[in-house]
Amino acid sequence: MSRPIDLPDYRRPPSAVAARMERIRDRPVVLEARGLSKAFAAPAGSIAALTGIDLTIHRREFVCVIGPSGCGKSTLIRLVAGLEEPTDGSILLEGREVHGPGPGRGMVFQSYTLFPWLTVRGNVEFGLRLTGRRPAEAAEEAASWIELVGLSRFADAYPSQLSGGMKQRVAIARALANRPRILLMDEPFGALDAQTRCQMQGYLLEIWHNVEVTILFITHDLDEAVYLGDRIVVLDTQPGRVREVIEVPLPRPRDTDQFLDPFFLATRYHIEELIHSPEGRRPEALAVRASSALAQEVL
Amino acid sequence: MTRGAAGRAGAPWLAIRKELPGRRPAVLKAMAFVLPLVVWSAVSYLPFLWHPMILVTDPGASGFLQVDDRLPEAEFAAENAHLAAAGARAAAGVAANPIFLPAPHEVARALYTGFTTEPVRPGEPWLHQSLGHSIRIIFWGFMLAAAIGVPLGLLCGTFALFSRLVEPFTDFIRYMPAPAFGALAVAVLGIADAPKVAIIFIGTYFQMVLVIANTTRQFDPALIEAAQTLGARRSKLLTRVIVPGVLPNLYNDLRILLGWAWTYLIVAELIGATSGISYFIQQQGKYRNYDKVFAGIIVIGVVGLVTDQVLAYLARYLFPWQATALSPRERRVRRWLTALRRRAPALAPPPAPVGTGNVAAD
């Protein structure tokens, strides 16, 4: 296969980026998945959604997970969140095994999931009140989180009165207010239009820059993954397993100009190749099988 | 006329799943009541429309006709032919409707006099007392059903344990008509109000458990998951997420079930010692005072409609996140209700217990 333009090797980042990755690796591990597998019961036996996923995420790291649809991205994040129990393997949060959901792993869903009966303030206070803050304390903390996502003017609005982007900012504030060790984001901008999505990516990077938090981010958007992540976990499909973990060779802080950076394009190109030609099912093999099937039909 | 108004006037009356513009909804709402009244008035006041009976005004020389008798036209004609053949004085009468269809003004008068005239026999209740009695029966029957049915329905919709344990038997009893329990209720609870309350209870409770369980089950599971990732556990999930989340739908369920309670009222009141508005209707039926029968039926309809409208209106204050735009006057009422809620701590959510950090619990 030949590339349309000459691109650098994504595995040989600029030295500043390499040094940064080195520093990240030295940081303590926040989340570790060991041999994570998940199988779902089906009429004809069980179907393996994920097999033997190993993943280590360091403090303040931004890790994106990408893969073709049906590769088990969402299953992976739901396992980490504790919303599903793994068939095999374990999840360790700061070295301790966790079962079931808890406030140490905040989650932002694609479908917003704001509580419609609570105002923006009420939504952000929700977790704070559950984890034992006094009402006045919770209100004060919630106000500062709402300010961080730039929605102070809408603190008393109900979710139904907000746009999609605003709702997702509330959801982020609500999750961050609990000071989770890791923030899990399941295609959070998937339901937004392209322009709002781009804006939200900028917001998220800004928030991540200002707040001490580690992020595991699921997406199906290549540009989004490369733009946001320190590392990208590329999943393979059926059964879902880690195909490759890519260190993004781009310096921080990131900005939209980097969409044209040769390293950005190289990384993006490589991931595209990975996703569109899954191992063991090369396009040539498929073509041969298809033609022989056709031949049989003709005969 | 402005262009906008002209545009509205030209808007189609039949637009699929679209609200009608301008004053049309209000006009149609009024017409919903006016049209049946117009039909009723036409049948009552236009003799050429129906009026199949003759109301005797002068019996003439007839041996059996009396003033105010109502009989079919053919029979009246036959009697007059008979009298004419005998050379006797003919009877006179006017075209009239059957006695079971009184004119609107007669029913209106009966409505008024029903509340103002003393009962025929001393010791009998006035119309408003009968109505009050009926409302009390409904209230207690429905409140008892809700006091048990709502929590149980919520539990059934939340926990499979309760669902599997409670719902099959409830479903079984649901098919038994509540009036079938009448004789049993009287035997157990006597002939006073208790068996009547029991019939209302039986008529609504079993439906309520199943309906509310179903409503609870339809609650968006993603919201429960979101709450779990925010640290909510079993009891908090129920009180802080599921209950407030299903409350608007639950409220609507109760509104519909309250209507059912009224349909069971008539049966309930005929059990044991007949009482309430049904007693009034039955008595008046016996005396052939159909204007008063209609008055009684209309009173039930009005009470039901007014209750339902008040509850619907109240829902907009109770569930502001669902409300369509409120007028300034409505907003004032809401502020007042909010202030009331703040002053009544029982209605506010309980303060969260003061605990330690979140990671240790995770």
List chain B residues with pLDDT less than 70: 1-9, 323-331, 334, 337-338, 341-362
**What's the gap between Cα A171 and its chain centre?**
15
Answer yes or no: are the C-beta atoms of B83 and B58 closer than 8 Å: no
> Which positions in chain A touch B359 (Cβ < 8 Å)?
93-94, 103-104, 181
Instruction: Give dist(CA A184, CA B84) in Å, integer.
Output: 101
Sequence ranges of chain A with CATH classification 3.40.50.300:
1-104+182-187+213-299
Q: What is the pLDDT of residues B272-292, one digit of tens each?
A: 788 888 888 888 888 888 998
List chain A residues with pLDDT less than 50: 280-295, 297-299
Answer yes or no: are the C-beta atoms of A170 and A114 closer than 8 Å: yes
Instruction: Give dist(CA B297, CA B127) in Å, integer.
Output: 12
State residue B9's pLDDT score.
Answer: 63
State residue A279's pLDDT score.
Answer: 56
State residue B10's pLDDT score.
Answer: 76
Using the Cβ of B350 and the Cβ atoms of chain A, whether some distance falls under 8 Å is answered with no
Instruction: Give dist(CA B19, CA A178) in Å, integer.
Output: 44
State residue A278's pLDDT score.
Answer: 55
State residue B202's pLDDT score.
Answer: 94
State residue B247's pLDDT score.
Answer: 95
Complex ipTM over 0.90: no
Architecture of domain A1-104+182-187+213-299: 3-Layer(aba) Sandwich (3.40)
Using the Cβ of B241 and the Cβ atoms of chain A, whether some distance falls under 8 Å is answered with yes
State residue B179's pLDDT score.
Answer: 84
Nearest to A224 by CA among A245, A200, A246: A200
> Which positions in chain B touch A182 (Cβ < 8 Å)?
none
Facing residue for A131 by CB, picked from B245, B319, B358: B358
Facing residue for A111 by CB, picked from B222, B228, B229: B222
With 0.90 as the threshold, say if the pTM is over it.
Answer: no
Q: Which two tokens stand for residue B11?
A: 């808007």
Instruction: Give dist(CA B126, CA B200) in Å, integer.
Output: 23
Q: Which two tokens stand for residue B247?
A: 């409350």
Q: Furthest-apart CA pair in chain B: how many Å?
A: 112
In chain B the beta strands, taken as DSSP E runs, fall at: 53-58, 70-72, 92-96
Instruction: Give dist(CA A74, CA A219) in Å, integer.
Output: 9
Instruction: Give dist(CA B287, CA A35) in Å, integer.
Output: 86
Nearest to B60 by CA among B95, B93, B89: B89
CB contact under 8 A, A131 and B240: no
Its sign, for the CA torsion B282, B288, B294, B295, is negative
Instruction: Give dist(CA A278, CA A264) in Å, integer.
Output: 22
State residue B352's pLDDT score.
Answer: 37
Using the Cβ of B19 and the Cβ atoms of chain A, whether some distance falls under 8 Å is answered with no
CB contact under 8 A, B244 and A158: no
Sequence ranges of chain B with CATH classification 1.10.3720.10:
127-344
Q: Which neighbouring-strand residues pair with A96?
A: A93
Using the Cβ of B362 and the Cβ atoms of chain A, whether some distance falls under 8 Å is answered with yes
In angstroms, what separates the C-alpha of B325 from chain A's closest C-alpha? 11
Beta strands A214-218 and A182-186 are parallel
> Which positions in chain A touch B240 (Cβ < 8 Å)?
126, 130
Name which CATH class applies to B127-344.
Answer: mainly alpha
Which of A129, A181, A214 to mutate to probe the B interface, most B CBs <10 Å?
A: A129
